Amino acid sequence: MILKGLTKQFYESPESREVFSNINIEIFAGQFSILMGPSGSGKSTLLNLISGIESPTSGEILIDGMDLSTLSEKKRTLFRRYHIGMVFQSFNLIPSLTVGENLMVPLNLKGMSRKQSNARVIETLDGVGLGNRSTSFPEQLSGGEQQRVAIARALVHDPMLVLADEPTGNLDSGNAHQVMRVFKKLVSDEGKTLLVVTHRTDMEPLADRVFYLQDGNVEEQSADYSLDC
């Protein structure tokens, strides 16, 4: 993933407000990166641009050679459906569907056959340690388990890029570290590129790279840590 000269402004009459300007980042396949910064610095806005939910004022967003900034909203949605997985602070699971059925949703949108979908759901749930909970409903799971299901849902359609916005914000410290370790293992095992927005400095040792967004600029901090996972 490459961001070139990325700038985002919001137009609030009678003036415009610049969130960030001329951001340049390159994150390589298989890397686990963390994005930090104070509240209101634009971290979620940056994720929305990378995912194609919003479009930049100027600059390029290159994912696997595709520049999302040149695509229409419809084409960005289709690209996201096939190539990007997203995890949020709120689990966003559909309460009336079982765990397995929640994972079926992105596969149905992708047009995968029922047989392939069933196999992929089982494989992905096994990967997050919940292979025996496919028939459970979200309310029957703990918070940490629900977030692992949300991770599985983001990965089930085999995206090249996974974006997570404060995925441990609703979890206690123990569950938060468990969830992030699952993330790191999946990046290592499947070669996914992962960018996580978090305010938790204790998560930095898990990351390959750490970026800090403040005053409209992004700076990379050293991430010379090692932690067995």
140 located within any domain: yes
Q: Count of domains in the chain?
A: 1
- Residue pair 159/6 in contact (Cβ under 8 Å)? The answer is no
How far CA 203 is from CA of 47, 154, 221, 224, in Å, comes to 18, 20, 14, 13
- Residue pair 186/127 in contact (Cβ under 8 Å)? The answer is yes
Residue 176 has pLDDT above 80, yes or no: yes
Residues 9-43: pLDDT tens digits?
998 777 888 999 999 999 998 899 999 999 889 99
Residues 123-174: pLDDT tens digits?
999 988 899 999 999 999 999 899 899 999 999 999 999 999 998 888 888 8
For the chain, the maximum distance between any two Cα atoms, rounded to a whole number of angstroms, is 56
160 located within any domain: yes
- Nearest Cα to Cα of residue 50 among 62, 37, 64, 32: 62
225 located within any domain: no
DSSP character string of 93-144: --TTS-HHHHHHHHHHHHT--HHHHHHHHHHHHHHTT-TT-TTS-GGGS-HH
CATH number at residue 46: 3.40.50.300
202 located within any domain: yes
104 located within any domain: yes
The whole domain housing 139 covers: 2-220
Task: Please tell me the number of Cα atoms within 13 Å of 20 on its side-chain side.
Answer: 27
28 located within any domain: yes
Rounded Cα distance between 14 and 151, Å, is 41
228 located within any domain: no
227 located within any domain: no
